[in-house]
Structure 1
């Protein structure tokens, strides 16, 4: 069964699919348009098994195929599965129609077996990629707050400093520490401390732009990296974060946790450092200055 059009369709968690087509050498058919459709538009996805249409004029067509049966060649849809989840769809079309014969029937069976095998291998490959991506995401995320961790901060800061130097852009970093955090843990337990950490992490996510990153670098210490932001932008942002945390009213096991405050230090490239180490040290020193001056405040390097 000569084939001209091989399409791999990505299947999303929203139960929609979009088509990406590849034309094989010698093809006489046009590529499918990349359009989204739902699982109900494909009989293979609906029935979770291969769907072969040998005669488009008399057989049941998928909704993602043109409704004009006179212009549709024979085609095959094979769902791509892995670990019980639908990951995509393999769609194949015949180059030209052939007369019915035992040889052609054998050819169709062979094509179906081959397409099923390809779909199975594709599903395994996609599943392995997902596992890899999940493991990578877990390696750079703090499991308690969902923020990035120190490892990612250091890697990202190194790249962003190189970009800032190349394009002559500003870059700022804010480090912050929850004041008297040990007292919360010692008085009410680590469950109370975890609530404070998660709530502060959630608040930080609301103060970052798409290009910024928020990290929990360890214990009760957090950092925000602000690409293309000068001290004139970063310092007011730090003050807004301080005020936002001060307004938090948290409870744990029926107990009010009282006022939560943070101290923050701000440093900027290139004024306070041109390497990750020097810039982080400058921000940390500013943080220590804020604590030594009474906490619940912002200090600049």
Structure 2
């Protein structure tokens, strides 16, 4: 006959065994979820899909209350690539390592944060008002470099206990970092095929393709479309007087000024030599003149830095044309803007000239 003490011991052993079985089952389910997520990360084909997977799908699949993705972007590669993507939630783009150092210090290892001395990091990781009481902060590291971080947050203060293991999270962070680097490299290759290597704006090939799309959209939806032709004045003289490396620097810096002056959705390209072309969808004549003058004045006032550390000045002549009602060819719009820029040069350079619908010069600004 078993004693009460022996029966209690047996019951306790059964409870312990049941607890171990439940923990093993929970870990198996967790492993299955992580494995499925890793497979999807490896298979992503676009930055849009990758970001949505990490910030939207992860939140739903793992029952999270908050998710954030921070990515280093000192050269603004992602800023140029991401605005046009239809993402439910966008990542936070960082100019430098400061915010990452605040989270990870020198350790650069996964951190589990809950109530306690490190609780203030929750507001840094998710912003005020997120409601997160505990979090997993995953550093994203590639080739020894910290490229960003992934944050999972929960309102449950015990969800991410600092004493818990981080094996699954560490593996997820490594695969996420590989996927992000892969997408960045793919984006760089894509941009290399449609970007002018010197100025950073789109190249003629890309412009010829995209302009036909913009033209057809403007005609179909009957919204205004403006075209600007920009030509650097006396560019041959700049090359002759200061050398071709100085001329290249002027081209590069003018390209940068143009890019910073445009909205998302506008299109700028180097058309050839010292010529640039811009398309402004949904922009009327007054708005197009404003853009043209803003760029012209920026170039006029800029001190262009030469490779030897000196400075020189440059100006632009700008031709502007509007897509006329009933247009049947984009080439007519481009030709009108091209003629207008020559009118600007004949009128004294460093000015904007708008073409009449018939092609003649209509107005001039600047001097």
> Any idea what SS the aligned residue of 2:59 has?
strand
Shift of 1:194: 2.4
Say whether residues 1:281 and 2:335 are aligned partners. Answer: yes
Question: How many residue pairs are counted as aligned between the two chains?
Answer: 264
CA distance in 2, matches of 1:33, 1:114: 19
2:268 equivalent to 1:214: yes
Aligned 8 A contact 2:67 2:153 in 1: no
Shift in alpha-carbon separation, 1:277–1:46, aligned structure 2, 3 A:
same
Q: Name the SS of the counterpart of 1:169 in structure 2.
A: coil
Residues 158 and 275, structure 1, Cα contact 8 Å, conserved in 2: no
Question: Per-residue deviation at 1:241?
Answer: 4.2
Encode CA deviations 1:80-99: one digit per residue, 9 max, x unaligned: 43222344348699xxx9xx
> CA RMSD of the aligned region, Å?
4.6
Over 3 Å counting, the alpha-carbon distance change for 1:144 and 1:116 in structure 2 is same
Aligned-partner Cα distance in 2 for 1:36–1:115: 14
Residue 22 (structure 1) aligned with residue 26 (structure 2): no
Residues 225 and 281 of structure 2 are in contact (CA less than 8 Å); yes or no, is this contact kept in structure 1? yes
Higher relative contact order (CA 8 A, sep 6+): 1
1:231-246, aligned counterparts within 5 Å? 231-235=285-289, 237-239=291-293, 241-246=295-300
Partner residue, 2:65 = 32
Q: Determine the C-alpha separation between the residues in 2 that align with 1:185 and 1:272.
A: 43
TM-score (norm 1): 0.64
Q: Mind listing any 5+ residue stretches in structure 1 that lack a counterpart?
A: 9-17, 66-71, 98-107
Q: Residue 136 of structure 1 aligns with which residue?
A: 190
The answer to whether structure 1 residue 88 and structure 2 residue 149 are counterparts is yes
Residue 134 of structure 1 deviates from its aligned partner by 2.3
TM-score by length of 2: 0.55
Which of the two has greater strand per residue? 1
Cα deviation per residue 1:99-150 (whole Å; 9 max; x = unaligned)?
xxxxxxxxx98xx655544443332222111111222233333333333332
SS in 2 for 1:279: helix
Task: State how far apart, in whole Å, the 1-side matches of 2:115 and 2:263 are.
Answer: 54
Q: CA deviation at 1:249?
A: 5.6
Residues 39 and 46, structure 1, Cα contact 8 Å, conserved in 2: no
- Cα pair distance change 1:79/1:167, threshold 3 Å: same
**Residue 211 of structure 2 is aligned with which of 139, 148, 157?**
157
Which has the larger share of helix? 2
- How has the CA–CA distance of structure 1 residues 77 and 246 changed in structure 2, closer, same or farther, with 3 Å as cutoff? closer
Q: Please list, as runs of the form range in 1=range in 2, the aligned pairs for 1:183-198 lying within 5 A after superposition.
A: 183-198=237-252
Shift of 1:161: 2.2
**Structure-2 change in CA distance of 1:255 and 1:272 (3 Å):** farther
Name the SS for the 1:267 alignment partner: strand
